[in-house]
Amino acid sequence: MQRLKALRRRLAGQSGFTLPAVMIGMFLAGLFTLAAISGVVGDIPIARSDQDHKRAHEAAEAGLAWYEFQLAADPAYWTKCTNVPDPAPGVPAPVNQVWNGSGNDPRVWRFLPGSTDAKYAIELLPASGQTACDPTKPQTTLLQNNTLRIRSTGWVRGKKRSIVATFKRKSFLDYVYFTNRETLDPVAYDSAGMRAWAQGTDTSPGQCTKSWDAGRGNASYWGQYCTEIQFITGDEINGPFHTNDSILTSGSPVFGRTGDKIEMSGGAPKGYRTNGGGSPVFNGPKTVPAAPLDLPPDNGSLKTLADPAYRFTGKTNLVFQGDKVLVTNAAVGTNVPMALPPPNGIIYVSNGACGKSYTVEQNYTDVPDGCGNAWVQGTYSKGVTVAAENDVVINEDLIHTGDGLLGLIANQFVRVFHPVNDPTNPNTGNRSDDLGDVRIDAAILSLRHSFIVDNYYMGDAEGTLTVNGAIAQNFRGPVGSTGGWGSVHGYIKNYTYDDRLAYEEPPNFLDPVQTAWRLVRATEQSPPR
């Protein structure tokens, strides 16, 4: 019995088992801890690399923001190429010519404020066919269809990220319809006295050259006021709209497609006046008053840019045929084929011996051949800008057959050919060579006058004038009219915005004076430079 009790005591006792178990547990815990530490230590380089990769992208974004700030402060900053002032004493500007990535990196970098391991560099990406930005001709060496491209590269501890950004200035081509003054062009009145009063002479105030807010409607010439061209029921502006004036509406004209911007610089708070009741329809956000866009005084800069072989003097007829144009000019001959696009994308027509200004009654026989008028028609597949020191005359359809964009820029008028039998008689009929329906696929700019149909208040109804593109003009140009007893002359309008113009332009199309740049695209380049 005593032996049985002793055995039970030994079996029930726990001495001798705890210490080995604890030691084994501590050993295993140590192994797990060591494995965890090893894993964490191994991940530190990976985490650091990932962090540096992200910081390099942030540095590239900082460089992009820095250059954007310079453009906002000075819209001509880009024209200096790399000859720009240092941002701070002893801190060189990080603006570089493009680097091809071979050899030693020649770029100037700038550290982010407060950092010693994060920096960025800016490269100016030249236009197609160019190797570097030349400050003596930045327009042709740096800009590609009026867009500016840069590359911003961020660097952090050997990690690099590059962002390619495209900037575009606010442009007349942001709108399907831009007008400086919402009144009839002063030189288009049929009365010589009214024309003088409207334009302004030594003895008259140039009343019709003023905006409505500046008092255009407060004076008259022998009881006749400036002709305010109305938007009426049935008029549709299928795209963004801007006027430096206020508009006059009758009934319910429609402005814009869904979301299109509608901008009016005058006539606050509404931006418009009504005549005869009704209310206009605005399908997009309306801005009143909007900042005005100033027209350049002339297109002379395009003459300088144009290749000598594509500069002509006097009346020049241009018939587009896909990737070529047939040129008729006194100096070169008849229907001479020339390749498209021209160098720098420009065809320029200068004045010779002209001495003849626009008259509202057009007979097409009394204009000297020395006048720098470009007559245009045909189909085109390449981008080109036709600029005339005098007028651009559209004498048949202008239709695109490819991705190219066509610009028409006149110092004076952009006109649609509309011959009538007797230009002295408003009740006359159309001539046998009239055009009927007309289609124009182009961006149109009249710097001093209007986009207008010749003899717009004469002859018979012609049909529809279709413009696929954009129209910008100094004064509103009429394309038709309604006469007494319900008679209709000229054209009805069908204007539709070419949405490509929001991001692309005809070659070297003119921009507003001193307009600001804006960022339109930013994409990461892989691999980075």
3-class DSSP string for 273-329: EECCCCCCEECCCEECCCCCCCCCCCCHHHHHHCCHHHEEECCEEEEEEECEEEEEE
Q: Element (H or E) spanning 38, and its range?
A: helix 18-73
175 and 501 Cβ atoms separated by less than 8 Å:
no
**Eight-class DSSP state of 522:** E
Query: Phi then psi for 482, rounded to 5 degrees?
Result: -115, 125
For 163, 215, 280, 453, the CA distances from 494, given in Å and listed in that order, are: 41, 31, 18, 14
Q: And the tokens for 290? A: 């909007």
Q: Give 481's pLDDT tier (boundaries 50, 70, 90).
A: confident
Query: Does residue 398 come out as left (phi exceeding 0), alpha (psi in the -120 to 50 range) or beta?
Result: beta
Of 108-112, 203-207, 253-257, 412-416, the range with the lowest mean pLDDT is 203-207
Average pLDDT, the chain: 88
Contacts of 25 by beta carbon, 8 Å cutoff, 6+ apart: none
Do 434 and 172 form a contact (C-beta atoms < 8 A)?
no
The confidence score (pLDDT) of residue 7 equals: 52
> Which region among 20-24, 79-83, 230-234, 287-291 has the lowest average model confidence (pLDDT)?
20-24
Torsion angle defined by CA atoms of residues 131, 137, 142 and 146, in that order, rounded to the nearest 10 degrees: -150
Residues sharing a CB contact under 8 Å with residue 368, sequence separation 6 or more, in sequence order:
353, 354, 355, 356
Look at residue 445 in the predicted model and tell me its pLDDT: 97
Residue ranges per domain, the chain? 53-170+516-525, 172-502
In this predicted structure, what is the pLDDT of residue 44? 54
Task: Pick the more confident residue, 35 or 380.
Answer: 380
Asked if 525 contacts 162 with a C-beta cutoff of 8 angstroms, the reply is: yes
> Would you say residue 41 has pLDDT above 60?
no
Tell me the two tokens of residue 86: 């240092």
Predicted pLDDT at 215: 86
- Sign of the alpha-carbon torsion through 114, 115, 116, 118: negative
Q: How many CA atoms lie within 13 A of 390 on its CB side?
A: 25
Query: Is the torsion defined by CA of 7, 8, 14, 15 positive or negative?
Result: negative
Average pLDDT over residues 315-342: 96
Q: Output the CA torsion sign for 517, 518, 523, 529.
A: positive
68: pLDDT strictly greater than 90: yes
> Which H helix or E strand runs over 197?
helix 192-199
Cα angle 94-100-105, degrees, rounded to a multiple of 5: 50
What is the rounded distance in angstroms from the CA atom of residue 169 to the CA atom of residue 498?
18
Q: Which residues contact 24 (CB under 8 A, 6 or more apart)?
A: none
Are 313 and 303 in contact by the 8 Å Cβ rule? The answer is: no
Burial class (CB in 10 A: 0-12, 13-18, 19+), 152: buried
What is the widest separation between alpha-carbon atoms in the chain? 149
> By three-state DSSP, how is residue 354 classified?
coil
Whole-structure pTM value: 0.77
The SS3 assignment for 382 reads coil
Query: Residue-wise over 378-415: b if at least 16 C-beta within 10 A, else e?
Result: bebbbbbbbbbbbbbbbbeebbbeeebbbbbbbbbbbb
409, two tokens: 């820029």
* 72 or 13: which leads in pLDDT: 72
Question: Residue 306 has which token pair?
Answer: 């144009």
Task: Give bridge partners of residue 382 from the DSSP assignment.
Answer: none
- Give the separation between CA 232 and CA 279, rounded to whole angstroms: 10
Phi then psi dihedrals of residue 142, to 5 deg: -115, -40
pLDDT of residue 19: 63
Average of per-residue pLDDT across 75-79:
88
Q: What is the mean pLDDT of residues 330-348?
A: 95
CA 436, CA 125: separation in Å to the nearest integer?
A: 47
Q: What backbone phi and psi angles, to 5 degrees, belong to 70?
A: -60, -40
Query: What percent of the chain has pLDDT above 70?
Result: 89
Beta strands in 51-117 (DSSP E): 95-97, 110-111
Burial bucket for residue 32 (CB in 10 Å: 0-12, 13-18, 19+)? exposed
Residue 269 tokens, joined: 């708070």
Give the pLDDT of residue 14: 53
Confidence tier at 492 by pLDDT (50, 70, 90):
confident
Positions of E strands within 191-280: 231-232, 236-238, 241-243, 247-250, 254-255, 262-264, 272-274
* Amino acid in the structure at residue 282: F
Start-to-end Cα distance in the chain? 93
Give the confidence band of 359 by pLDDT, cuts at 50, 70, 90: confident
Q: Rounded to whole angstroms, how far apart are CA atoms 408 and 5?
A: 119
Instruction: Inform me whether the pLDDT recorded for 40 exceeds 60.
Output: no
Q: Which residue has the higher pLDDT, 182 or 220?
A: 182
Tokens standing for 392? 């651009």
Neighbours of 196 (CB within 10 A): 17
